[in-house]
């Protein structure tokens, strides 16, 4: 059935190629967005937004927790980058560089 399926499915080859390319682009974008330097820059911008009053403390806390979780998973400071690492989410305590209003 190999030759027959290749002949029948041949018109779908461009579609499969586009899907493959789209998956590679998605993977690269996810990798780039989760890079530790990008996450640190987003944390800095978040701190600036809080200091300027553009966002409230509740939104700041939610976004900060989300970004710190991503940073821990990506292998940034305080995280091992692996699922069973010693970086755990329970050791945040006093967050460096975070000012409370």
CB atoms within 10 A of CB 46: 19
Distance of CA 66 to the CA centre of its chain: 9
State the Cα–Cα distance between residues 30 and 69, nearest whole angstrom. 15
Report pTM: 0.51
pLDDT tens profile 41-100: 999 999 999 999 999 999 999 999 999 998 888 775 544 444 444 444 444 444 545 544
**Which is more confident, 86 or 13?**
13
């Amino acid at each position: 059935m190999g030759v027959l399926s290749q002949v029948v499915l041949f018109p779908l080859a461009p579609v499969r190629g586009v899907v493959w390319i789209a998956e590679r682009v998605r993977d690269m974008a996810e990798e780039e967005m989760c890079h530790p330097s990008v996450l640190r820059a987003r944390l800095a911008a978040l701190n600036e937004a809080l200091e300027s009053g553009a966002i409230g403390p509740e939104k700041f806390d939610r976004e900060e927790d989300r970004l710190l979780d991503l940073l821990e998973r990506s292998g940034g400071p305080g995280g091992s980058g692996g699922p069973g690492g010693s970086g755990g989410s329970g050791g945040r305590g006093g967050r460096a560089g975070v000012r409370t209003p």
